[in-house]
């Protein structure tokens, strides 16, 4: 494939996004050269590794660069638009964590409160034995699950698909939990089913990526008395004018919804070729679903999500809307894991990374890391939406695509390295 300038759009000046009432993105004048970053992202499109990509780099809360690459849909060839809607998957977790911490500020709970105080089904948890061969090989938990544990993935929950052959993930499947394909139950029933399953480890003693943030979403419902999506709309999305962020895509917005693709070889991120796996008009998100997944259910636009990120970077306030206090965000950026425990996936190495209250935290730089990456906090979504904030360097980045799987893909690492090199 040859380079196609029509499919690479660089935005400068004021850019109205989404609707007449939505946020306006304004790029800041500067003398930085982002062309190496643009060429790098375009190469992933040209090599048929990604169908699309969109990137934003900020300094402070000023947008330095915003560029789109590729197409909305490979069959039609329609260029990726600035108001395109993305499946955010685990970028939802940052929103859910902020929502729960708003209730913390409201005095609804303390971080060291037992989860069972508000959700009694989680009383008396059971933990798999170290040599367990079935979900029945359990012992009583040495300590209760605390609310800080569900905000930091240290409660002992699992996900049911990351290690499908493990005892705990097999238990999730047999226990009626399929987070990738079954959205027919609500959060209350979802959490009831989770509560009946064994923990992978004693609460607070390790880290495991999990449904913990979905439990956070249900806790928001319990504490607020509102359905989770209603709470988000009232307390976050409406104040921040995030007009395209929701748990589904209504028919009138379907033409802005990006087709999602999967690689022909999911184990080789450098092998060309993609297959459509979710249609923008007849797919998973085109009707309202019962399960409002706090861990991965939202759709959003670059404009909407960067408004949310700007609020975080701006210490909890954006354009007159105060969402969190600065001291609450500082607390969210403090490590909540036990001594010696770090973030680890079976298939991805994340050395030097711990976890706060909703954010992964870079607490120890590796040899290849720029100095400005110290204390970076971040997270991303499974289809390739990744945002990171670097207070030491004073920059923020977001890169997005719709590739399943796309989390921790080389394109996001290359984007980050070039963003630091150019603007850090």
Q: Please give the full DSSP string across 308-341, using - where no structure is assigned.
A: HHHHHHTTTEETTEE-S-HHHHHHHTS--SPTT-
pLDDT reported for residue 408: 78
**Alpha carbons 133 and 396: distance in angstroms, whole number:** 44
pLDDT reported for residue 24: 62
**Range with the lowest mean pLDDT among 4-13, 205-214, 246-255?**
4-13
Torsion sign (Cα): 196, 197, 203, 208: negative
If pLDDT is split at 50, 70 and 90, which confidence band does 9 have? low
pLDDT reported for residue 10: 53
Q: Which long-range contacts (CB under 8 A, 24 or more apart) does 103-109 make?
A: 103/220, 103/223, 103/224, 104/328, 105/324, 105/325, 105/328, 108/223, 108/224, 109/147, 109/219, 109/223
**Alpha carbons 85 and 278: distance in angstroms, whole number:** 13
Would the pLDDT of 350 be above 90?
no
Strand partners, 399: 55, 386
Compute the chain's Rg from CA coordinates: 21
For residue 1, what is the DSSP state?
A: -
pLDDT reported for residue 310: 98
Question: Is residue 386 within 8 Å of 412, Cβ to Cβ?
Answer: yes
Would the pLDDT of 319 be above 60?
yes
The pLDDT tens digits for 108-125 are 999 999 999 999 999 999
Average pLDDT over residues 308-329: 98
Q: Parallel, antiparallel, or unpaired: how do β-strands 395-400 and 385-390 relate?
A: antiparallel
Take residue 276 and report the two structure tokens written for it. 């459509």
Task: Compare 242 and 270 and report the one with higher pLDDT.
Answer: 242
Would the pLDDT of 1 be above 80?
no
The pLDDT tens digits for 37-82 are 999 999 999 999 999 999 999 999 999 999 999 999 999 999 999 9
Would the pLDDT of 15 be above 90?
no
pLDDT reported for residue 373: 94
Q: How many other β-carbons are positioned within 10 Å of the β-carbon of residue 277? A: 16
Torsion sign (Cα): 180, 182, 188, 189: negative
């Amino acid at each position: 494939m040859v380079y196609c300038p029509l499919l690479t759009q660089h935005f400068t000046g004021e850019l109205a996004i989404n609707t007449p009432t939505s946020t306006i993105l304004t790029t800041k004048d500067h003398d930085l050269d982002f062309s190496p970053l643009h060429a790098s992202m375009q190469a992933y499109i040209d090599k048929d590794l990604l169908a699309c990509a969109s990137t934003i780099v900020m300094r402070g809360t000023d947008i330095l660069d915003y560029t789109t690459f590729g197409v909305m849909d490979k069959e039609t060839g329609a260029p990726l638009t600035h108001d395109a809607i993305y499946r955010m998957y685990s970028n939802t977790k940052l929103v859910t964590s902020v929502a729960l911490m708003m209730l913390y500020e409201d005095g609804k709970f303390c971080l060291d409160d037992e989860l069972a105080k508000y959700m009694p089904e989680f009383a008396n948890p059971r933990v798999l034995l170290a040599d367990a061969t079935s979900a029945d090989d359990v012992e009583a938990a040495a300590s209760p699950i605390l609310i800080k544990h569900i905000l930091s993935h240290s409660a002992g929950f699992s996900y049911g698909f990351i290690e499908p052959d493990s005892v705990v993930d097999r238990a999730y499947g047999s226990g009626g939990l399929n987070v990738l394909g079954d959205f027919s139950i609500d959060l209350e029933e979802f959490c009831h089913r989770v509560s009946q399953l064994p923990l992978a480890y004693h609460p607070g003693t390790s880290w495991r990526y999990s449904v913990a943030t979905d439990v956070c979403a249900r806790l928001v419902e319990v504490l607020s008395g509102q359905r989770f999506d209603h709470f988000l709309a009232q307390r976050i999305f409406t104040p921040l004018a995030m007009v395209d962020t929701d748990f589904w895509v209504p028919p009138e917005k379907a033409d802005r919804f990006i087709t999602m693709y999967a690689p022909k070889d999911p184990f080789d991120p450098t092998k060309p070729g993609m297959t459509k796996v979710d249609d923008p008009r007849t797919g998973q998100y085109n009707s309202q679903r019962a399960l409002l997944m706090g861990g991965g259910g939202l759709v959003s636009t670059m404009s909407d999500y960067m408004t949310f990120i700007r609020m975080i970077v701006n210490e909890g306030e954006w354009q007159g809307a105060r969402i969190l206090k600065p001291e609450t965000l500082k607390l969210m950026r403090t490590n909540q894991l036990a001594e010696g425990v770090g973030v680890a996936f079976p298939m991805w190495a994340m050395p030097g990374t711990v976890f706060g209250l909703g954010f992964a935290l870079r607490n120890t730089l590796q040899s290849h890391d720029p100095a400005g990456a110290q204390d970076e906090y971040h997270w991303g979504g499974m289809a390739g939406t990744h945002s990171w904030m670097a207070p030491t360097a004073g920059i923020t980045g977001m890169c997005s695509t719709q590739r399943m799987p796309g989390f921790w893909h080389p394109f996001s690492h290359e984007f980050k390295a070039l963003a630091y090199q150019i603007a850090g």
